[in-house]
Each structure stands twice: as structure tokens, then as C-alpha cells.
Amino acid sequence: MGVYEVKSLEQYFKVYKRSVREPRKFWSKIAEDFVWYKKWDKVLEYRLEEAEVKWFVNGKLNITKNCIDRHLAKRGDKTAIIFEPNDPDEEAEHITYNDLYNRVCKMANVLRDQGIRKGDRVCIYLPMIPELAVTVLACARIGAIHSVVFAGFSESALAARIQDCECKMVVTSDGGFRGNKTIDLKGIVDGALETCPSIDKVLVVKRTNADIPMKEGRDEWLAPLYEKASTESIAEVMDAEDPLFILYTSGSTGKPKGMLHTTAGYMIYTAYTFKNVFQYEEKDVYWCTADIGWITGHSYILYGPLANGATTVMFEGVPSYPDFGRFWEVVDKHKVTQFYTAPTAIRALAKESTDWVTKYDLSSLKVLGSVGEPINEEAWHWYNDHVGNKKCPIVDTWWQTETGGLMISPIAYATPTKPTYATLPLPGVQPVLMDEKRNEIEGNQVVGSLCIKFPWPSMARTIWGDHRRYKETYFSAFPGKYFTGDGALRDEVGYYRITGRVDDVVIVSGHNLGTAPIEDAINEHPAVAESAIVGFPHDIKGNALYGFIILKETGETRNRENLTREINQYISEHIGPIAKLDKIQFVSGLPKTRSGKIMRRILRKIASKDTANLGDTSTLLNPEVVEDIIENAV
């Protein structure tokens, strides 16, 4: 991917200009560097008003040919994946490109033998072990659509995701290790499958050796099938726009949205941005600490790095196990050159002694990355001073599940960084800030709603089974433009700073949580009449959740402590422990407009203890409840 490489700010401006002036030529030049069965007839077709986009029309390819096969001649013995287990005493595994080829082909054959065909959906519910990477790639090899569900999601969250896209198979494990905990993944799958009639087969990977029940006719251990599978598997011919995967993200309303990504555009964009933003070079060892259950793991642990023939680290554990030095121990051990993590992890580690960092040799590091939420100034400096030793540029990468790849980010060693700023749009990305009247805001030193006004190759194509919702959520607030749901400011030199969500999504420890699904879960509690959830600032998590809850008459007499515990239990079961509330306040009423809409703006202020100026409350139907809520705020 030598073409359009960016090594300096000057080059960035040149490349950027070209990408905007002639986007078709720009992306087709980059696409030439990949392996195709057949090249495209047309680079781009789109109608953003209808939320319709096609890239590399009629091109034929297979992404695993590009991520694995084409590297074998030159890099067969190079390590593709370093697997670092949860337990530091368990040996790390170095999987070469040759090994990866064999493993993916074997797994592809297992899937085919079990009846999986092109277009079928396979749910992957696995911990961060090599089989997760292998299964994802095996699906891609045979054209099955993978739907990875983060192994921290609860039974009902898993069930909802399986039902929504009608998966035929689940690939899971007997359990998973995370820090000093063991998680019973198979038990969660068994529970979920009680309401998932589309599932014919469950393949089970052995990881913890837990004694688990296997359902006759449905469940199979992977190992015996895998052992006898052949190491050759022909890669399916995929159309550029054939679906590659579905990944669920929570919306501000209703059920999770199954974002659908397709093949060619996604591959080209993640590969190009990986190479440039992280300045990856042949001998580098790159480590992204995300879980493959999130988009960051899809695009920047697997597809982007592997398309570049990179060495990518896959870490099973957590930053605090066995102690707060774990990240730095792993960097030292594998001589990591690019390190990519989330602000929430940085903030948690910055609370601990810097001895945990200085104990290790971090001199291999060249680039640091941040993703998932705005990084605050303090965390940025700690990361820069103690981890990067003031020598490593920090790439603060802004993007989303929906965008597939990095959108606004410094390019390491080219873009001068500025704390808390994601800086400049990457080549091919055309951001605009919009005002409330839906006009584009020109010039600098302005704030607005962040939109993208021209298609880029890795954008999601639809929400699985619900194109109308896709169009309404992303393309109707500002017709003809993609609306990100984020607010941003543009400073005097044109640098972007993301200020946070402008909708009812709260980012807790880097995880998107729609408030509506949490409210739905709480409202199922028999003692609860109504609830409203908002976010408030939190030292480590970035944001935490505050619940305002109205009880039914029958609930009024109940012990509040028990109720609080039960409500969080409901949330854990319906969504996952990550969505538990940090604070709960039982209230007699919620501030509502005359049309009955909860005024969340006011609740947000109360939760943040910022009640000096509540703004305009004249449209409230019941202003008296506000005083009461403020007085009893927790």
C-alpha cells in the first residue's frame, strides 16, 4: 500500500486534497494493491438521502486471501498473531501466517461440514483466545456472516442478537478466564438458546476444562472435528458488496442495531488507515488491547493488521491482573511498538503508582493510540509522560462501529498532536459541523453536530433487517449527510475535538450504552413504575449511570437497599454488568414537557451536580418535582 502513504504534514495535506478532489481515483489506486478474483466495474455508486452506498461495484474477492494467503510466499514464517494468555505463567503462543492459514482452512472445513454456507449467520461467543480469530476468519473464508457477541454480554442480550439475525450456529467455549474470574460461557449460551429456534448447532472450544453439559444432537466439541479437517479450503468468491459481518451496537432507542459491513470497502479502508495512522513497519509488533467483540477488535486487531501482514497481539486478560503492571509487562515481553488502548484503562492505571510502569522497559514503543471516548487532558499527559516517555505520538482516534474504520485521527509522526483533540480527518473523510437549523457551519472556532458529507469505503451499509431504521437514525437528521450522533468543535487551525454524544447514548468505560434499553430492563421490575437514566462524569469510567426511578404504590413500602440491588440485578441479566447503575434515586415524579417527554437535559444537570443554571424550564408540565429531585439527589 505504498501509494498515498503519509509521512509528513505536508504530504498529508497533499494526499487529503487529492482524496477529496478525486475520491474514486484515490480509492481505486489503493484498491489496486489488493488481490482480486475480478476487478470492479465502477468505484462508487451512492445516494446518501436513501442511505445507499456501493463501493467497487462488481469486484470479486475474498478478504482472507488478502489477510492470509497473499502473505505466505514472503511472510509464511512471520508471526501473524501473538496470543498472550490471561495467566502470565501460561506460555504465549506465536501463530505464523502459515499456521494461521492451516487453522483457518481447517475451521472453514469444519463449518462447511456442519452445513454452514455463504450468507448464513454464525454467532461467535468466545473469549479472547486464538479460536476466536480463527473462527472469524473461517467465516469470512466461506462467506458466512459472522456476528461476534462480546463474551461479557448476558444471556438475554446474547439471545436478542442471535434472534435478530437468525444465526444458524453458535461457536462458544466451555468457559473463559478474565483476571481471577472464570466465566461460564456455555451456561450463558444454553440459557440464551432456550429462545433461539434458528440455532441448529453449537461448537464448543475447550478452554477452562470445566465440566459442562452437552446437548445431544446440538452441541459438539470442536477439537475432534477440527483434528480431522483438511488444511486446504478454497476461498469463496465474494462480491465486493457481499456482507462480511454484523456487529451490534446499542441505539438510543429500542433493540440493538445490527450494523452490517460488507467486504471490499471495509477491507481496503481498515488496511489503509491501519498502515498510515500507526505507521506500521514490517518488523513492528502491534498491540490493540480491545476485545474482538467490539469494532476496534474487528478492524484493528484482525482485519486491518492482517491485511498489512502485520504481527498483532491478542490479549486474553485484563490490565489489573495479576497486578497493575500487566500491560507494561506484556509490552516489554513482546517488544511492542504500537500500543492502542482506551482512556478508561489509562485512567484506571494512572490511579496506581508509576512504579508499575517504570519497572518495565518500554523503549520499544513508537506510537500510542487511544479510542472509544474522549480522552481527558490528565489521562493524555499521564499516557504521554509515563508510557510514551514523551517520545511517542498519541493518536487519539475518533470513529464508530458504524464507520468501520478510523475517521478523525492524527497520523503518527505527521500530524502534530494536541491533547484531547482527534485533530484532522483522514484522507477520504469529509466531516462537517451542522447547526440546529441544519446548516453547515463554515470556518473555524465553531461547535456543532458532527456529520460526514461524502461516502467512505468502510461505512456500514445498513442495519440488518431494517434499512428504514438505518436511514432514519443516520441520514434523516441532516438529509444527504451521515449523522454521527456526536458533537464536536473545530479549533482555530481546523482541528476537531469530539465533545461527546448528543443523543441518549452514554459511553461508560468506552462502551456505548443506550439509555432506553436500560430503562426497559428496569421497568420490568414489578415495583417500578417509570425510570429515566442519564450519564454523569466519573473519574475512571468517563461516564457512569444515574437512575431516577418512580416506584409503584406497592413498591413504596419496600426496603430501598434491597430494591437497588434487585434493579441492578435486572440490568445485569437483561444487558450485562457493565450497564449497572452507579447511583439510584427514588423520586416521586420526573420533569416532563407538556407533550409528556422526559426532560433529560435537566436530569443530566442534576446527576452532574450542576444545578446552578438549569436553563429554560418554562415548558415543564411539573416544575415542582425539580426542586424535590435536587434536594434529594444522591
Binding site for ligand WTA (CB under 6 A): 249, 294-296, 370-374, 396-401, 422, 484-486, 498, 501, 507, 512
The distance from CA 309 to its chain's CA centroid, rounded to whole angstroms, is: 22
Which residue number, 268 or 422, has a Cβ lying nearer to ligand WTA? 422
Which residue number, 81 or 508, has a Cβ lying nearer to ligand WTA? 508
Which residue number, 76 or 500, has a Cβ lying nearer to ligand WTA? 500
Which residue number, 449 or 484, has a Cβ lying nearer to ligand WTA? 484
Which residue number, 172 or 484, has a Cβ lying nearer to ligand WTA? 484
Sign for the CA dihedral angle at 211, 217, 218, 220 comes to positive
Contact in structure between 79 and 282 (CB atoms under 8 Å): no
Three-state DSSP state, 484 = strand
Which residue number, 109 or 484, has a Cβ lying nearer to ligand WTA? 484
**Exposure b/e, 597-631, CB count within 10 A at least 16 = b:** ebbbebbbbbbeeeeeebeeeeebeeeebbeebee
Which residue number, 112 or 501, has a Cβ lying nearer to ligand WTA? 501
Q: How far is the CB of 572 from ligand WTA (least distance, A)?
A: 20
R_g of the chain computed on alpha carbons: 24
Contacts of 92 (CB under 8 A, 6+ apart): 82, 83, 84, 85, 333, 334
Alpha-helical segments (H) within 263-325: 264-277, 295-297, 304-307
Q: How far is the CB of 487 from ligand WTA (least distance, A)?
A: 9
Q: How far is the CA of 57 from the CAs of 80, 290, 438, in angstroms?
A: 30, 32, 32
d(Cα 600, Cα 501) in Å, to the nearest integer?
13
Q: How far is the CB of 604 from ligand WTA (least distance, A)?
A: 15
Q: How far is the CB of 296 from ligand WTA (least distance, A)?
A: 5
Name the E strands within 32-158. 42-47, 52-57, 60-61, 79-84, 93-96, 121-125, 145-148
One-character DSSP codes across 551-614: EPHHHHTS-HHHHHHHHHHHHHHHT-GGG--SEEEEES---BBTTS-B-HHHHHHHHTT--S--
Q: How far is the CB of 147 from ligand WTA (least distance, A)?
A: 15
Sign for the CA dihedral angle at 178, 184, 190, 195 comes to negative
Which residue number, 110 or 342, has a Cβ lying nearer to ligand WTA? 342
Write phi, then psi, for 435 (nearest 5 degrees): -95, 180
Q: How far is the CB of 231 from ligand WTA (least distance, A)?
A: 34
Q: How far is the CB of 462 from ligand WTA (least distance, A)?
A: 16
Contact in structure between 396 and 365 (CB atoms under 8 Å): no
Residue nearest to ligand WTA (CB): 401
d(Cα 612, Cα 634) in Å, to the nearest integer?
16
Which residue number, 392 or 528, has a Cβ lying nearer to ligand WTA? 392
Q: How far is the CB of 274 from ligand WTA (least distance, A)?
A: 13
d(Cα 563, Cα 556) in Å, to the nearest integer?
10
Q: How far is the CB of 448 from ligand WTA (least distance, A)?
A: 15
Which residue number, 422 or 429, has a Cβ lying nearer to ligand WTA? 422
Q: How far is the CB of 398 from ligand WTA (least distance, A)?
A: 4
Which residue number, 107 or 460, has a Cβ lying nearer to ligand WTA? 460
d(Cα 434, Cα 451) in Å, to the nearest integer?
7
Three-state DSSP state, 532 = strand
Q: Beta strands 238-239 and 257-262: pairing type?
A: unpaired
Which residue number, 284 or 396, has a Cβ lying nearer to ligand WTA? 396
Q: How far is the CB of 619 from ligand WTA (least distance, A)?
A: 28
Q: How far is the CB of 191 from ligand WTA (least distance, A)?
A: 26
Three-state DSSP state, 220 = strand
The torsion of the CA quartet 593, 597, 603, 604, rounded to 10 degrees, works out to -120
d(Cα 305, Cα 291) in Å, to the nearest integer?
15
